[in-house]
Chain A
Amino acid sequence: MIINHPLLGPRDSAEFTYLGDAKLIDRPDATSENAAQEFYEYAYLRDNPAGWHEELWFHEAGDRSWLVVTRNTLTHEISKVELARDVARSRGRSK
């Protein structure tokens, strides 16, 4: 596969390490009332869609960016590649 890195352009997927569902960005708030349940779901429950999936890739043999790659698990088509940091900010993870 070829991943179109937002900063570096098209790169071979062999340069990357795969982590999994980009929901891992949404780490729960430990002070929330339901924290135990929320952390359990965060750590263990994942969707496994046959189709579009937002997932985390690490450019380990490159610039060390974490990326959110929107990939179709059936066809391997990649529709969007973003810096995970930007996604994290857009999901309200700024301090």
Chain B
Amino acid sequence: MSQINRLSGGQVNADQPLKFKFDGKSFTGQQGDTLASALLANGVRLMGRSFKYHRPRGVLTAGSEEPNALVELRDDARQEPNTRATTVELFDGLTAKSQNRLGPLQFDLLAINDRFSNFLTAGFYYKTFMWPAAFWEKIYEPIIRHAAGLGSLSLQEDPDVYDKGFLHCDLLIIGAGPAGLAAALTAGRSGAQVILADEDFRMGGRLNCETFALGDQSGADWADSVIAELASLPNVRVMPRTTIIGAFDHGIYGAVERISDHKLVPDAGKPRQILWRIYTKRTVLAAGAIERPIAFENNDRPGIMLASAIRTYANRFAVAADQRVAIFTNNDDGHRTAQDLYAKGVKISAVVDVRPDAPRSMDYEVLSGEVIDTKGRLGLTFAEVRLADGSLRTLECGALGVSGGWNPNVHMTCHQRGRPTWNDALAAFVPGGTLPQGMTVAGAANGDMTTTGALKTGAAAARAALKDLGLTAKTIKLPQAEDTPVAIKPFWYVAGCSRAWLDQQNDVTVKDVKLSHQEGFRSVEHLKRYTTLGMATDQGKTSNMGGLAIMAELAGKTIPDVGTTIFRPPYTPTSIGVLAGRHRGQEFHPKRLTPSHKWATEQGAVFVEVGNWLRAQWFPRAGETTWRESVDREVLATRKSVGVCDVTTLGKVDVQGTDAAAFLNKIYCNAFAKLDVGKTRYGLMLREDGIAKDDGTAARLAEDHFVVTTTTANALPVYRHMEFVRQCLLPDMDVQLISTTEAWAQYAIAGPNSRALLQKIVDPDTDISNAVFPFMACANITVCGGLRARLFRISFSGELAYEIAVPTAYGDAMIRKIMEVGAEFDVTAYGTEALGVMRIEKGHAAGNELNGTTTAQNLGMGRMVSKTKDSIGSKLSEREGLNAAGDLRQVGIRPVNPADPVPAGAHLMNADGPVDAAHDQGYVTSACFSPNLGHAIALGFLKDGDTRLGEVMRLVSPLNGFATTVEIVSAHFIDPEGERLRA
């Protein structure tokens, strides 16, 4: 049984057989097939199970609007769920599985749901699974997820790469059917920069699917010749396999180009797909039209398709949907399918037309009547017809083509909230409201349903766009083509039907719409959400109209009065992979490396991500088995002799100009105007609402030159804020800012021997003695025989400490030099963990304390906020609520039992009394083990903490049942008098 339904001709190549597997069974198709056409050629009609009732389903369409034939494509890591068999381009070695079934496709055990359909109607979830709430997570959801899911994921990493790119053009043409090709030819020959995109792998649209002639050529041949000419023009980019997924603001379009989806594996070095962002001045939407079905009892059996799809399979793919085909139509177009198939020798059981005056045919029977039911468990066998005179007929057929008319494909016109308007002649919605900027619609998408109409309006749309852009349009000669209007009688569903499917993907029936109306969900938006009509991955491309029409009838309104929902991007389902592009795993964001990174790697450092930076977290040594051993050693060694740490990641902003001091006075809450040249000062920045924003130091290198540092995390926002103050608030100050974070490699050298070490690096003419270069001094100096450097005597660790900065290119050399000359002092490199331990021991606030909720007062720096000047945040920091009794104050916390931990995030409670949120006294912000003290220590905030030193309190973490007893102490665990840093 090989390709029993294969006809001759079409745009498939019988000389190029392709082998593929569906549900484990081997088949052969032809080059040019889709998976759907190849399955139909092999007599396979059953391709999946429906979402809710697990009813047997086959293909409904031949395009991307397909609701039913969703399959899992490929195996293992490349397995891809929910791909539409109608758009999957067949390739040799393709494997696909049907999905949404339990057991084999023919005997899906969940088909039992169909028997319980009376319970599974609209609003089922809302009505059934309301109580008890606890059942949701444990019982209802797993069952629903298992039973009502679509395909499954491989749960393996995607082995393919996805790219992103940017394109610019004068004119974007969406769709390469007759309208799009006429537009592209006009604009292309006129010299405009044109992009022509079509989702199909074969361009030409309906020209490939019809038997109409264009001039003396077939439609497909004409399309081929036009595409060949366009491809030869340097100003035209022809993009098949490219779906425009959305129309965004200001002429920006998203497009997904499927580079390798039609191959077993991508070619070497090629991405699987590319997400393009297209910037275009004008757009012609030529997306064609989509046929809509008619609802009747049991209209979802495999073999029942859109009439146009049956025609497409026959004309383009040379496949008869079955050897015996019937048609059910309300318009002339349905008859074309019968004529085309008849001409190819397929038996036409009958054409059933709802119109009494249906056009007759000499070749086959035409009946005036309606299809009222069908038979065939896993595929159509019979259609029951009620004739106009009331008599019944049974038609034997394996395929039934249904045509309810055509809907212009308005999807993209809605992306900027344009609302389609009703057209009575077409009995369909056409583009309306405000279209996306620069868009015109041509051809069937705009309601011009004939081939001649499409060619003419496509060319005209291009000419208008060219004129807009100031380009001269060349007139092209369009071929003679059919121009016959299609007569239609609006007809949506067969009276008396109930289990008649409107939305096959979400299993929504006529009965569900009636129920929705009965229960009061009558607006289109409510109807959609209550029944899930049109909410599936196909966005109701084939189903919305039927639902609206029935709702209109029930409400006694016209369809335009009921209105329509609108479409959103993406046009078709888009993989997360292509949206992510290369930004995944380690490449999720850019990686910034510190100047000492290479050296640190050589030392075996463990790194931590801090923002985009990779910083050394600690430097394990042989014999150390836990991170704590390394960190404790680094802390003790630094406090005993000297340690070095890369602090390049701290933000650095160069501030220059005659108003530099006045500018800093504005952005810092403490005073800066009188800072002497050669001095550094700690600065606290507030937000305008009085909450602490960031802290750092400002070093005055000259009268008109400061270097400001920020925390690593806030380097960007603080710089942005400084530019805001400079440009928006103080526009005429003579001050310039530049971020120099990457320009200088900066190392902290801390510990009692830091001066002795530095002495070996700075050039001899630089005196760094305590008398000449005291605590908080700063200077431009030279090191290592003339290399320019900046030296700051500042300390985060609480030790005698310096920070030395050299141009980044010398950063690697400098760390090696420091380690070399420091060997005699056993200089120790320390990472961010030891840095954190030492700053907690010293009681310095950091990000955990400047957490966006704390004020200068909370941080114990209330008196720093100058009252004698206006600075950002100074006014609102005076507010009563931020200065009330009972405010939080930063304190130190130590366990009463030295062996106990003091976890960050735990809350402080009074020694006696209830433990609850109402009696909360404060919380721990930063905690660590202090190797110098031999027990855990922490910083935290406590109500009136500054007056409660010595108090014993309970520290609790109700989330994990933790409780211990702690003592409130000064935050300065080490050297509270600051003698070390001034040594």
Query: Which residues of A are in contact with B by a Cβ distance under 8 Å?
Result: 1-2, 12, 17, 19, 24-25, 27-28, 30-31, 35-36, 39-40, 42-44, 56, 58, 60, 64-66, 75-76, 78, 83-89, 93-95
Is B730 within 8 A of A19, CB to CB?
no
Q: Using a Cβ cutoff of 8 Å, how many contacts connect chains A and B? A: 80
**Known contacts A19-B724, A30-B874, A89-B732; can you find 4 more A-B pairs with CB under 8 A?**
A24-B728, A39-B875, A86-B731, A88-B729
Which of A17, A40, A56, A66 is the most central at the interface, judged by chain B CB atoms within 10 Å of its CB? Answer: A66
Is A85 within 8 A of B250, CB to CB?
no
> What 10 A-B pairs are tightest by C-beta distance, nearest first?
A30-B870, A88-B731, A2-B250, A39-B875, A1-B249, A76-B249, A66-B727, A94-B732, A85-B731, A85-B727
6 example contacts (A-B, Cβ-Cβ < 8 A) are as follows A1-B252, A2-B252, A39-B876, A58-B720, A58-B724, A93-B731
Docked complex Cα distance between A85 and B249 (Å):
27
Taking CB atoms, residues of chain B closer than 8 Å to A27 are: 688, 729
Is B720 within 8 A of A65, CB to CB?
no
Q: Tell me which of A19, A24, A35 contacts B875 (CB under 8 A).
A: A35
Is A1 within 8 A of B732, CB to CB?
no
Asked if B744 CB lies within 8 Å of chain A CBs, one says: no
Is B688 within 8 A of A43, CB to CB?
yes
Docked complex Cα distance between A30 and B716 (Å):
27
| Main DSSP-derived SS at the A contact region | mixed
Interface residues of B in 497-531 (CB under 8 A from A): none
Is A43 within 8 A of B876, CB to CB?
yes
Q: A31-B870, A36-B875, A95-B732 are in contact. Are A1 and B727 (CB under 8 A)?
A: no
Interface string of B449-480 (1 = CB under 8 A from A): 00000000000000000000000000000000
Taking CB atoms, residues of chain A closer than 8 Å to B728 are: 24-25, 56, 66, 84-85, 87-88, 93
Is A66 within 8 A of B870, CB to CB?
no
Taking CB atoms, residues of chain A closer than 8 Å to B747 are: none
Chain B residue with minimal CB distance to A25?
A: B728
Docked complex Cα distance between A83 and B416 (Å):
28
Chain A residue with minimal CB distance to B878?
A: A36
Q: A39-B875, A40-B876, A85-B728 are in contact. Are A17 and B251 (CB under 8 A)?
A: no
Docked complex Cα distance between A38 and B723 (Å):
23
Docked complex Cα distance between A58 and B718 (Å):
13
Q: Tell me which of A24, A64, A76 contacts B250 (CB under 8 A).
A: A76
Closest approach, in angstroms, between the C-beta of B275 and any C-beta of chain A? 14
Docked complex Cα distance between A42 and B875 (Å):
11
Docked complex Cα distance between A85 and B732 (Å):
9
Taking CB atoms, residues of chain A closer than 8 Å to B251 are: 2
Taking CB atoms, residues of chain A closer than 8 Å to B702 are: none
Q: Tell me which of A36, A40, A75 contacts B416 (CB under 8 A).
A: A75
Interface residues of B in 863-897 (CB under 8 A from A): 870, 874-876, 878-879
Taking CB atoms, residues of chain B closer than 8 Å to A2 are: 249-252, 279
Q: Tell me which of A1, A35, A93 contacts B729 (CB under 8 A).
A: A93
Is A75 within 8 A of B434, CB to CB?
yes
Interface string of B25-68 (1 = CB under 8 A from A): 00000000000000000000000000000000000000000000
Docked complex Cα distance between A94 and B250 (Å):
35
Docked complex Cα distance between A42 and B687 (Å):
12
Closest approach, in angstroms, between the C-beta of A18 and any C-beta of chain B? 11
Asked if B733 CB lies within 8 Å of chain A CBs, one says: yes
Interface string of B613-640 (1 = CB under 8 A from A): 0000000000000000000000000000
Docked complex Cα distance between A36 and B30 (Å):
79
Taking CB atoms, residues of chain A closer than 8 Å to B733 are: 95
Is B727 within 8 A of A94, CB to CB?
no
Is A39 within 8 A of B727, CB to CB?
no
Interface string of B716-743 (1 = CB under 8 A from A): 1000100110011111110000000000
Taking CB atoms, residues of chain B closer than 8 Å to A88 are: 727-729, 731
Closest approach, in angstroms, between the C-beta of A48 and any C-beta of chain B? 18
Which of B248, B688, B727 is the most central at the interface, judged by chain A CB atoms within 10 Å of its CB? Answer: B727
Docked complex Cα distance between A8 and B250 (Å):
17
Asked if B373 CB lies within 8 Å of chain A CBs, one says: no
Is A60 within 8 A of B720, CB to CB?
yes
Is A65 within 8 A of B876, CB to CB?
no
Closest approach, in angstroms, between the C-beta of B502 and any C-beta of chain A? 33
Is B250 within 8 A of A1, CB to CB?
yes
Taking CB atoms, residues of chain B closer than 8 Å to A94 are: 731-732
Asked if B80 CB lies within 8 Å of chain A CBs, one says: no
Interface string of B842-880 (1 = CB under 8 A from A): 000000000000000000000000000010001110110
Taking CB atoms, residues of chain B closer than 8 Å to A76 are: 249-250
Closest approach, in angstroms, between the C-beta of B184 and any C-beta of chain A? 24
Asked if B967 CB lies within 8 Å of chain A CBs, one says: no
Closest approach, in angstroms, between the C-beta of A57 and any C-beta of chain B? 11
Docked complex Cα distance between A66 and B731 (Å):
11
Chain A residue with minimal CB distance to B734?
A: A95
Chain A residue with minimal CB distance to B725?
A: A27
Taking CB atoms, residues of chain A closer than 8 Å to B689 are: 43-44
Which of A17, A27, A42, A65 is the most central at the interface, judged by chain B CB atoms within 10 Å of its CB? Answer: A27
Docked complex Cα distance between A64 and B733 (Å):
17
Docked complex Cα distance between A75 and B649 (Å):
41
Q: Tell me which of B249, B252, B730, B874 contacts A95 (CB under 8 A).
A: B730
